[in-house]
Chain A
Amino acid sequence: MYTLENVSKTYTQSKRQITALADVSLSIPSGQLVAIQGPTGGGKSTLLQMLGALDRPTSGRISLGEAELSHLPDRKLGGIRAKEIGFVFQGFNLIPTLTAQENVETALAPLGVPAEERRRRALDALASVGLADRAGHVPGELSGGQQQRVAIARALVKEPDVLLADEPTGNLDEETRDEIMDLLEGLWRDRGLTLVVVTHDSAVAKRAERRLHITHGTVTERR
């Protein structure tokens, strides 16, 4: 379960103070599917980075279960990301020189999983997203939808508690978008994940249990 208390984040850009998050307080129970919407520059990605332990707030507290994310050292935040949080990015962010299977394996490398088990789990994860026959292909040989499936397999291979998706369908056509969202929704349901999706797309947001809207760093609930 995520708990945010009075979280603020400010950046200095060209001597100007920019407030990305302003005194945000909210909680996300475990197993919830949450959609975050809002205009560009409203603070969606910053909020997702705070939830993903990629950055610390300027003030306030964020906790994931027992872990106080706002005050942990980098090394421990890295450990939490490695074990508990999966990421899916708009641009897929696959390593272009590695095959689909090897890309999935990168998520298991920091956990010290032995090579043989790593390979087996990676192939299982690819099979779970329908890409068992594409394991040996590099990203350049895959379609956008297939690349995003590989990215989802990479995020889920370590069996995390939380999956954070930043515009996961932003680069895909409508048909592929629906396929990916069906996949994510199925995995969320099957695995009991906490799934947070940042999206511009209302069709995607409508699938969520809960919808948050963020403008000028301020979060509001949307029914």
Chain B
Amino acid sequence: MFFTYLRRELAGRRRQTAIVAIGMALAIALVMIVNSVASGVRDAQASVLQSVYGVGTDLTVSQDPTPPEEGEAGAGPGRFEFGADDGTSTDDSTEISQSRLTAGFGSTTFDASALDTVADLDGVEAASAALSLTNMTFSGELPQFAQRTEGEPPAEGDTTQQAPTGGFDGAGGSAFDVNSFSVLGIDPGGAAVGPLSAVELADGRGLEASDAGQAVAVLDASYATSAELAVGDTIDVGGTEFEVVGTVTSTSADAATASNVYIPLGLAQSIAGLDGQVSDLYVQATSSDRIAAVQADIEEALPDATVSTQADLAASVSGSLSTASTLIANLGLWLSVAVLAAAFLIAILFTIQGVTRRTREFGTLKAIGWSNRRVVGQVAGESLVQGLIGGAAGLALGLAGIWVINLVAPTLGGSATTGTLAGGPVAGPGGDGGATASGPFGDRLADAAGSTTEVVLNAPVTISVVAIAIGLAVLGGLLAGAIGGWRAARLRPAEALRSVA
């Protein structure tokens, strides 16, 4: 009787069933899409972060840069000094070039003993240190000044001035170029956690424990392409020639790795004049629930350090990815809540209206012996099925919406703002921009902003998304059914019959 009555009621009151189901379907589809897109944005953020911080890094430790004291020079490459015999001279010009390796823009170095301090803490599974550096190369062409000193100086009263020659324009001019790339000194044997844990070998080999102290380098593949370098070539880092032994790419699609060049930590420290110094620690906790405790312990052990968790790092992701994240978190969430509340309200109001309209019907059923439980069960059952119809339609609509989003596949740009803001390491410039910056400031600004990574938004359909749709449908149906049933249960048969007599 229950199912016959239920089927007849839903079929007989098609308009009400359709309105309730459509309302529920729209709300459920919206919640599904928002949830799925939010999940996609989180994945994209993780992808951006992974390209910078590596896989498995739960915490990073760095130190806020301190502004230079009055009269003290700021962090920078220092002065490029050339002696009289430096450079390669031709007939009428001299070509000069010099590289300097300095601490990365926005990062502060601290004593490497912090690594042991952190590694010894309870709850720390693995830790590694890195030194973030910037290699600045100053190169240019000068006129051959020696020409001016040859022969006698012009005689007094001689008004015929000899025209200048040489230089890049043949008229005594000079041209300079300043290039830079990011360098990360890493422990060559400690790839379990740290920036190289999220890379794939594109060519050659990675850094190995036996490379400690050796002048070997691994290059970001996209940087290597732009700099026209390959395995077997050499690269000048701070005036030392390093042999390129491998190139790496990020495991994330379209993402650059954390730095342009990776070299053994010890050699990086000695070339940069930062012996015993590091700029970042990468820490992996034994389990995710220990992260907060490990963070507190590190902050206690290293009072000057800035300790960032993945959650903190996620906040550092900027660009359109950040905008999407904010949009989902604010507008998407509240829109879903509002539509869901409206759908539930519609379902409840229609159920109450239905019970009111069917007062005589329920009064009659009670008069012929139907118990309250049977009447309430009938009302709740009808609402539940309406909710489930809406849920099924919402599931289909939601899946269609997610399919459309994945078909359009919007691209979001994200950059992990590092250094002073997030306390993380300085990220290398992504792609060609950083490597070919024509001046120090553009490159250093690029460093400060972090690497921009283009990520295609993929909205995943997970079990939780489907469970949310079904759960909301059941919840909406039960809620409407419970309220409608409560109204029906309160009907006294005599009053219900009298009201229509």
Residues of A within 8 A of B (CB): 45, 49, 52, 54-55, 74-75, 78-79, 81-83, 86-87, 89-91, 93, 95-98, 102, 105-107, 109-111, 115, 118, 154-155, 166
- Give 15 A-B pairs besides A93-B364, A105-B1, A109-B374 with Cβ atoms closer than 8 angstroms: A74-B372, A78-B369, A82-B368, A87-B368, A89-B364, A89-B497, A97-B5, A97-B11, A97-B13, A98-B5, A102-B4, A106-B5, A106-B365, A110-B369, A110-B370
- Do B500 and A106 touch across chains, with their CB atoms under 8 A apart? no
The answer on a CB contact under 8 Å between B369 and A107 is yes
Instruction: Report yes or no: A91 in contact with B1, Cβ–Cβ below 8 A.
Output: no
Contact yes or no, B368 A55, CB < 8 A: no
| B-side contacts of A55, CB under 8 Å | 492-494
CB < 8 Å neighbour of A96 from B12, B365, B492: B12
Chain A nearest Cβ from B370, distance in angstroms:
5
**In the bound complex, what is the Cα–Cα distance between A54 and B374 (angstroms)?**
17
Is residue B366 contacting chain A, with contact meaning CB distance below 8 A? yes
Contacts of B363 in A (CB 8 A): 93
Interchain CB contact under 8 A, A91 and B500: yes
Question: Considering the chains assembled together, what is the distance between the CA atoms of A166 and B361 in angstroms?
Answer: 16
Check if A118 sits within 8 Å of B361, measured CB to CB: no
Question: Counting CB contacts under 8 A, is B360 at the interface?
Answer: yes
Given contacts A45-B501, A54-B497, contact A107 B360 (CB under 8 A): no
Enumerate 12 A-B pairs (CB-CB under 8 Å) in ascending A order.
A54-B367, A55-B492, A75-B371, A87-B367, A95-B361, A102-B1, A106-B1, A109-B1, A109-B370, A110-B368, A110-B371, A115-B1
* Chain B residue contacts of A107, Cβ below 8 A: 368-369
Give the CA-CA distance A150 to B370 in the complex, in Å. 18
Least CB separation from A91: chain B residue: B500
In the complex, the chain B residue whose C-beta lies closest to that of A98 is: B8
In terms of DSSP, what is the predominant structure of the interface of chain B? helix
Cα distance, A52 to B368, chains bound together (Å): 10
Chain B residues lying within 8 Å of A89, measured Cβ to Cβ, are 364, 497
A118 touches B371 (CB 8 A): no
CB neighbours (8 Å) of B500 from chain A are 91
Q: Please give the number of chain B residues whose Cβ is less than 8 angstroms from any Cβ of chain A in the complex.
A: 28
The 8 A-B residue pairs with the shortest CB-CB distance, nearest first, are A82-B369, A97-B12, A55-B494, A93-B364, A109-B1, A97-B8, A110-B369, A54-B494
B122 within 8 A of A: no
Residues 474-501 (chain B) with a chain A CB within 8 angstroms: 492-494, 497-498, 500-501
Measured in the bound complex, the distance between the Cα atoms of B501 and A93 in whole Å is: 11
Give Cα A54–Cα B365 distance, bound, in whole angstroms. Answer: 12
Q: Mark B328-351, 1 if CB is under 8 A from A, else 0.
A: 000000000000000000000000
Say which residue of A49, A79, A105 sits within 8 Å of B497 (CB atoms).
A49
Residues of A within 8 A of B1 (CB): 102, 105-106, 109, 115, 118
> For B13, B367, B369, which residue has the most chain A Cβ atoms within 10 angstroms?
B369
B9 at the interface (CB under 8 A from A): yes
Residues from chain B with a CB closer than 8 A to the CB of A166 are 501
Residues of A with C-beta under 8 A to B370? 78, 82, 106, 109-110
Closest Cβ neighbor of A108 among chain B residues: B1
> What's the minimum C-beta distance from A206 to chain B, rounded to whole angstroms?
24
CB <8 Å contact, A93 and B374: no
Given A97-B9, A102-B4: A79 in contact with B501 (beta carbons within 8 A): no
For B369, what are the chain A residues with a Cβ–Cβ distance below 8 Å? 78-79, 81-83, 107, 110-111
A75 to B370, CA, bound (A): 10
Annotate B392-434 by CB proximity to A: 1 below 8 A, 0 otherwise.
Answer: 0000000000000000000000000000000000000000000
Chain B neighbourhood of A81, CB < 8 A? 366-369
A98 to chain B, nearest CB (A): 5
Instruction: Identify the closest chain B residue to A87 (Cβ).
Output: B367
The reply to whether A45 and B8 form a contact with Cβ atoms under 8 Å apart is no
**0/1 interface trace, chain B 1-28, chain A, CB 8 Å (1 if under):** 1001100110111000000000000000
Output the least CB separation between B481 and chain A (Å). Answer: 18
Shortest CB-to-CB span from B2 to chain A, Å, is 8
Contact B360 A91 (CB under 8 A): yes
Write out the residue numbers on chain A whose beta carbons fall within 8 Å of the beta carbon of B360.
Answer: 91, 93
Check A45–B367 contact: CB distance below 8 A.
no
Tell me which residues across on chain A come within 8 A of B4, comparing CB atoms: 98, 102, 105
Which residues on the B side are within 8 Å of A52 (C-beta)? 367
A177–B60 Cα gap in the complex (Å)? 92
Q: Is the CB of A54 within 8 A of B493?
A: yes
* Binary A-proximity of B357-399 (CB < 8 A = 1, otherwise 0): 0001101111111111010000000000000000000000000
The smallest C-beta distance from B499 to any residue of chain A, in angstroms, reads: 12
Taking a contact as CB atoms closer than 8 A, the residue among A78, A106, A115 that contacts B371 in the complex is: A78
Q: How far is the CA of A49 from the CA of B1 in the complex (A)?
A: 26
**In the bound complex, CA of A83 to CA of B361 (Å):** 19
The residues of A that contact B364 with a CB separation of less than 8 Å are 87, 89, 93, 95
CA distance A79 to B373 in the complex (A): 13
Q: What is the bound-complex CA distance between A75 and B371, given in angstroms? A: 7
CA–CA, A179 and B361, complex, Å: 26
Tell me, in angstroms, the Cα distance from A55 to B494 when the chains sit together: 6
Most buried by A among B372, B374, B493: B493
Chain B residue numbers with a CB within 8 Å of A155 are 368
Q: How far is the CA of A52 from the CA of B501 in the complex (A)?
A: 16
Contact (Cβ within 8 A) B366 A45: no
Report the minimal beta-carbon distance from B363 to chain A, rounded to whole angstroms: 8
Contacts of A91 in B (CB 8 A): 360, 500
* Shortest CB distance B145–A (Å): 105
Cβ–Cβ < 8 Å partners of A105 in chain B: 1, 4
Which residues of B lie under 8 Å from residue A79 when comparing CB positions? 369
A83: chain B residues at CB < 8 Å are 369
